[in-house]
Structure 1
């Protein structure tokens, strides 16, 4: 099943709003599984990039549970989200529409980072940092994998 036009780009931007590295890790995992993205992305063909994206995705999931973890709306957090969303949005856009996919993903990621942070803070107050983070991790990882699975095809 294929998702229409730029929908995958917008959805991967929403994923990046909650976890900056998850879109890249999902794309890297799909590439390792032999799946191809509609848009061109040369970086995904480089083994160092693939394994680096997976490691950064795992590191972010672990680091998010630390009390010292900065808010996702801090400058560097927003920058990481914008970069990851842009690259992933381009990769999931139809060929020839990569720039539009990147722009749409970034346009979704940045404002949604504030919304997902507000939701996470409410969950933290009720369930604690670790438990709320683990639930958010599961939801975001599943969403990222699902978006990439719907957009990617067997290579």
Structure 2
């Protein structure tokens, strides 16, 4: 196995650093489009999970613009990133390498959460909370969709 096969896991961890629910929403969207992940992801076989992942992904995009939204590095935010990155990283890893893929995604998501928070705070000073959030949303959602679409395959 080549290390490049785990690159999607690393990249989806970076996505989770900025938006914790976006990796799961992107996987749910791929599942609805008839695509399957290289690694095992049993959760997508449950319609409630698929719908919940999409709703939580959309809700996070709206909630992030609220002035009362907590920083992504608070304990609950980091836990959400760890869980989402771990699940998505495992799903995008080659079959039999899910644990390594999940670990790589988590190892990327946690430190990157601090980096992306710093970048967002700088952007907020220049463009405000809503504008900086919308730009970040566009970057993160497009990245997640590109990563997942390149890593999944048709059924």
1:5 and 2:5 aligned: yes
Alpha-carbon shift at residue 4 of structure 1 (Å): 3.3
* CA distance in structure 2 between the aligned counterparts of 1:146 and 1:106, rounded to whole angstroms: 19
- What residue ranges of structure 2 are gaps of 5+ in the alignment? none
| Residue-by-residue CA offset, 1:87-118 (whole Å, 9 max, x unaligned) | 00000000000000000000000000000000
* CA distance in structure 1 between the aligned counterparts of 2:45 and 2:7, rounded to whole angstroms: 24
Q: Secondary structure at the match of 1:6?
A: helix
What is the aligned length?
153
Structure 2 partner of 1:99: 99
Structure 2 partner of 1:82: 82
CA RMSD of superposed structures (Å) = 0.9
Structure 2 partner of 1:124: 124
Q: Which runs of 4+ in 1 moved over 4 A?
A: none
Q: Secondary structure at the match of 2:94?
A: coil
Alpha-carbon shift at residue 63 of structure 1 (Å): 0.1
Alpha-carbon shift at residue 76 of structure 1 (Å): 0.3
TM-score (norm 1): 0.98
* CA distance in structure 1 between the aligned counterparts of 2:13 and 2:34, rounded to whole angstroms: 23
TM-score (norm 2): 0.98
| Residue-by-residue CA offset, 1:58-104 (whole Å, 9 max, x unaligned) | 00000000000000000000000000000000000000000000000
Q: Secondary structure at the match of 2:140?
A: helix
* CA distance in structure 1 between the aligned counterparts of 2:27 and 2:118, rounded to whole angstroms: 27
- What residue ranges of structure 1 are gaps of 5+ in the alignment? none
* CA distance in structure 1 between the aligned counterparts of 2:111 and 2:4, rounded to whole angstroms: 23
* CA distance in structure 2 between the aligned counterparts of 1:139 and 1:45, rounded to whole angstroms: 28
Q: Secondary structure at the match of 2:73?
A: coil
1:23 and 2:23 aligned: yes
* CA distance in structure 2 between the aligned counterparts of 1:138 and 1:5, rounded to whole angstroms: 26
Q: Secondary structure at the match of 1:111?
A: helix
